[in-house]
Copies of this chain bind each other. A is one copy, B any other.
Amino acid sequence: MIIIGEKINGTRKAVAQAIRERDETFIRDLARNQTDAGSAFLDVNAGTAPEREPEDMAWLVGTIQEECGIPLCLDSANPSALRAGLEIVKNPPMINSVSGEKPRIEKVLPLALEYGTNLILLALDETGIPNTSDGRMKIVDRLVRLAMDGGLKEEKLYIDPLVTAISTGTDSALITLDTIRRISSTYPKCHITSGLSNISFGMPLRHMINRTFMAMAIQAGLDSAIADPGDRQLYEVIMAAEMLMGRDKYCQGFSRAYRAGRIG
């Protein structure tokens, strides 16, 4: 499971304050903790006003890179902010994200192609998130074709099937799971990623619902998640689900994580 650590996000109050005050210690701690907890990438979202965002993104990238060498996932809709990050990023980065929306395709996709980054593709367009897997696959097909025609290999694409709340649609999870299965069989070399927690919006017992959905999404073919790797119970379910899917020979990974005190 390729975990994209989600916590360095300027829409979170404490992170916004740290960015404003240039609090390096706070950001470095967030980076270190998420790396130690098993992230493969760290999402970096400055979340600030467009005119400040390039400078804030560059500061975040620089600060995180002083702390650890983990690859970064530059998260913005603002091409200038993305470019500011791309120019100084050391390890092969990811961009979050290109959707079927025109500005993303015209302004963000070219950056991903120019720098040959990993790239998250979202199954939505100007009309929103389709409420059928057919509708989502139509967008995915178009985006994968555009990215590959531009020279990105399938292995660099992280397709997000998108998740809507079960409280607003009885079939919400089924649509996502079906989209995951279809991506998995149509593009076996692409990765499939998502932030799953939207599923439980408006419901009680959100974390439990999220964990249950994570197990089901992994079974359907999800191999990456935008998540908090420090959520110990979620991490346990990810380890268990991957083991049950036959990806942990002799249960060695699970047992090692248990002995090391990472789970349990």
Contacts and interface: CB of A to CB of B under 8 A. Distances in A.
B170 A248 contact: yes
Interface stretch (A73-81, A114-122, A135-143, A204-212): A204-212
A237 B208 contact: yes
B246 A173 contact: yes
B204 A170 contact: no
A81 to B, nearest CB: 36
A246 B172 CA distance: 8
A167 interface: yes
Contacts of A199: 244
Contact of A203 (B174, B249, B254): B254
A209 B166 CA distance: 24
A46 interface: no
Interface in A234-264: 236-237, 240-241, 243-246, 248-251, 254-255, 258, 263-264
A177 interface: yes
